[in-house]
Structure 1
Amino acid sequence: MAARCAPARAGLAVALLLLLAGCQPRMVGGSGFGRAVQVCDSDGCRVQPREAQTLVIGEDERLRRQADPDLYRGESVAELRGAAAAGDAGAAYRLGQAYEYGAGGLPRSAGQAARQYEVAAAAGMPFAMFRLGRLAEQGAAPGGRARAIELYAAAANGGVAQAAHNLGYLYLQGRGLPRDMAEAARWSTLAAEKGVPESQYNLALMYFRGEGVSRQPYEALQWMRRAAQNGYLPAQKAVGRLYMTGLEEMGQDLQEARSWLSLAASRGDAESRRWLQQIEQAERAERAYQQQLTMQAAQTQALWAQAALAAALAPPPVTVVIY
């Protein structure tokens, strides 16, 4: 993620982190560990406590990946075949999943899966359209990417968040569609609002860079945090890095940084482990600096005491007046 940086009021630990990161955070109030940040969005800029940025999970569907209501759950393949043959589109769809993933004792067969998905998609099942579109894009079903785009659009309009994500990504990359950042942002927003962490991550970058949407770093942070909370590793790293160094209106918070980077490091990310080591080095430097300041404060107090005593004992100056 590219960073536009501004000067900071910071202690030694902050300065060390900034040196490591090649960046200067912009902070409001306090030292490098301040609790207030400047927030800028479409309503303008304001100062608020950093805790106000914390997301409330509650019933927010943006913090849960959308579930497929007709997922195959181990039903008898023989029964599904019978129901599909009798015209049950839902049974055909679940049978297609069993073929796609080799479940229920069936051999994996993308071709058989596509045939079953075709039946379900023709009956208007949006998730079947999405799965069929994915197979078409992979070359495992007829039509290729052009058919996939049609199916993704139909599925997305039917409420399938993953299909909206795929459309947004195709617009973002210019694959089979003209590269269009506004369309990429529109479809990515639909997917992000329904809990697709990859879209939340992409949307965060678009808000940060001002691509397809107006540039809003604070909004970018919120979407990046949602993607991180939804378990997307690149977002966990990005949030950890932002809190490690601070960025624009977001203040530095090493405790928050350690939390996210530790999570990413526990999943095997070597770069996050290295950043955690840098935080530890910075904190050791901060403690050493504070100890040095304490010692210097004691020395200063002693020097002032001695200076005051010397002034009290010194004889008054002699003024010579010449006439």
Structure 2
Amino acid sequence: MLKNETDPKNTFLLAQTRAQSEKAEDLCRLANCYDFGIGTRKNIKHAFELYREAANKGNPIAQYNLSLLYQDGKVIPKNLKQAFEWMKKSAKKDAEAMSDLGYMYVQGVGTKCDLKKAVAWYKKAAKKKVARASYNLGLMAYSGEGMKQDDKAAIRYFKNAEKLGHKDSILELARIYSDKASKEQNKRLSKLYIKKAISLSFKEAKMF
């Protein structure tokens, strides 16, 4: 929603008025209203057109949402190459896009799989406190996929993600400390994180 606006209908009307300026930010706001049905009926096709106009003017949020629509393919024909290109453009400024671009490199979405590039983009996103980027770096460090296997680095990444509210990181910390429970300190930490994981309804933590 627009700043200081709580009434959806008023938000939409204000977005319509501001979009007449044809500024990228204003076009993106109106697209958002159509995308999520804020103060008006959902109209993904119209949202797509507005996002595309704003994206072409350099708005990173519009570029990000355009990529998501190309990936989704439910209303707009799926085009993973276009999805990748728009995410790449958005990632120049947007932290969430940096993380998503890393994922696209891992999975080979619209591009070739490149784990080194994935790690690089995850690190950029993690520096900007994107929780899932830190989490994914933790997974890669622990498995040795895309980077040197490093338990200490994995723990550091998972703890960073945990601080940012990423609950799955707690399960992974429980797993790591349980695997290394031969040391007394790790036994204590293992019990701590298993308890946390169980409290978050991770049933598999009971198996550690």
TM-score when normalising by structure 1: 0.56
What is aligned with 1:114? 48
Using a 3 Å threshold, how does the CA distance of structure 1 residues 90 and 175 change in structure 2: closer, same or farther?
Answer: closer
What is aligned with 1:178? 112
What is aligned with 1:262? 195
Using a 3 Å threshold, how does the CA distance of structure 1 residues 111 and 263 change in structure 2: closer, same or farther?
Answer: farther
Task: Determine whether 1:132 maps to 2:46.
Answer: no
What's the C-alpha RMSD, in Å, of the aligned pairs? Answer: 2.7
Cα deviation 1:79-110 (Å, max 9, x = unaligned): 2111102323222211211222222x212222
Whether contact under 8 Å (1:72, 1:95) holds in the other structure is: no
Matched to 2:164, the amino acid is: N
Query: Where in structure 1 do 4 or more consecutive aligned residues deviate above 6 Å?
Result: 69-72, 247-250
What is aligned with 1:229? 163
Larger Rg: 1
Pick from 35, 42, 60: which aligns with 1:100? 35
Matched to 2:186, the amino acid is: Q
Task: Determine whether 1:161 maps to 2:95.
Answer: yes
In structure 1, list runs of 5 or more residues that go unmatched: 1-68, 279-323
Matched to 1:133, the amino acid is: S
Task: Determine whether 1:196 maps to 2:130.
Answer: yes
What is aligned with 1:320? none
TM-score when normalising by structure 2: 0.84
Instruction: Supply the distance in 2 between the matched residues of 1:249 and 1:181 (Cα, whole angstroms).
Output: 32
Instruction: Supply the distance in 1 between the matched residues of 2:20 and 2:136 (Cα, whole angstroms).
Output: 42
Instruction: Supply the distance in 2 between the matched residues of 1:71 and 1:100 (Cα, whole angstroms).
Output: 18
Deviation at 1:225, TM superposition (A): 1.1
Q: Does the residue aligned with 1:214 lie in a helix, a strand or coil?
A: coil
Pick from 11, 21, 40: which aligns with 1:86? 21
Instruction: Supply the distance in 2 between the matched residues of 1:250 and 1:90 (Cα, whole angstroms).
Output: 55
Higher relative contact order (CA 8 A, sep 6+): 1
Q: Does the residue aligned with 1:213 lie in a helix, a strand or coil?
A: coil
Using a 3 Å threshold, how does the CA distance of structure 1 residues 72 and 236 change in structure 2: closer, same or farther?
Answer: farther
Equivalent residue pairs, number? 204
Identity in percent: 26
